[in-house]
Amino acid sequence: MIDIKTIASGSTGNCYRISDGETIIMIEAGISFREIREAFDFRLSQVSCCLCSHEHGDHSKAIKDVMKAGIDCYMSLGTARALKLSGHRLKTVESKELFTVGTFKILPFNTQHDCAEPYGYLLQSKNGKKLIFITDSFYCRYCFSGVNYYMVECNYSKEILEENIKSGIVPETIRNRIVKSHFELENVKEFFRANDLSKCDEIHLIHMSGNNADPESFKIEIQKLTGRPVYI
């Protein structure tokens, strides 16, 4: 199995711990380094690498400190350049080119966001279990088979967003930015309809908006659609 721990998720910061019992991987470093150290029980030497999806601060805030702590950080060249990173702990990888970290084979792939070169990641442990990670993308052009664990952004619903704009909670000027950079509930549903869920064990809905999402109803809707356990 693959153990998933959400340390932080959302616009204020993102960080996740992934482990197959042998290799520990951090995905995103979008919170303070102090918080990361505490979340990993001050045992960062046990972390094999950090995967970074893109350069926005809520995903990369502590990436330089993570590298200084001796952890290899993998990302696209575009993300590395946007963050002005260098050094031997920086590992730039190409989309759809497989690489290995410990007991995991990892396949990066392009996502759709308003940044330099964002990635999602498909991880496969040596026990055959697969995990998909997609965040900050308004759609996914790929379909996947045999995935056991889904970590997928479900950022907002159009209905809630429009209600918040009408009531003045959300400025109308940022509507297009949200729509063209984040995964909306109905699009998430279409993603799951398009993918083979026959081996799916768990679905984790991540990076929900603080204003434009209803976590409990999103969980119920995705559980009803997929018939799989959903975590938020």
| pTM of the entire predicted model | 0.95
- pLDDT of the residue at 96: 96
Q: What is the pLDDT of residue 97?
A: 97
Instruction: Yes or no: say if 95 and 110 are a contact pair by the CB < 8 Å rule.
Output: yes
Task: Look at residue 21 in the predicted model and tell me its pLDDT.
Answer: 96
* Residue 171 CA neighbour count, 13 Å, CB half: 3
- pLDDT at position 86, please? 96
What was the pLDDT predicted at 152? 98
pLDDT by residue for the chain (232 residues), tens only, comes to 999 999 999 989 999 999 999 999 999 999 999 999 999 999 999 999 999 999 999 999 999 999 999 999 999 999 999 999 999 999 999 999 999 999 999 999 999 888 989 999 999 999 999 999 999 998 899 999 999 999 999 999 999 999 999 999 988 888 888 888 899 999 999 999 999 999 999 999 999 998 999 999 999 999 999 999 999 9
Distance between CA atoms of residues 14 and 31, nearest Å: 6
Core vs surface per residue 26-39: b (16+ CB within 10 A) or e? bbbbbbebebbbeb
Residue 107 has what pLDDT? 98
Q: Please give the pLDDT value at position 204.
A: 98
Write the single-letter amino acid at 147: V
- Say what the pLDDT of residue 52 is: 98
What is the domain class of 3-231 according to CATH? alpha beta
pLDDT computed for residue 89 by the predictor: 98
Distance between CA atoms of residues 182 and 118, nearest Å:
12
Each domain of the chain, given as residue ranges in start order, spans 3-231
Give one word for 211, left, alpha or beta, with left for phi > 0 and alpha for psi -120 to 50. Answer: alpha
- Here the tokens at position 22 are 């042998």
Q: Exposure pattern of 73-86 as b/e (b: 16+ CB <10 Å)?
A: bbbbebbbebbebe
Cα 52 from Cα 136, distance rounded (Å): 12
Largest CA distance in the chain: 51
Q: According to the model, what pLDDT value does residue 49 have?
A: 98
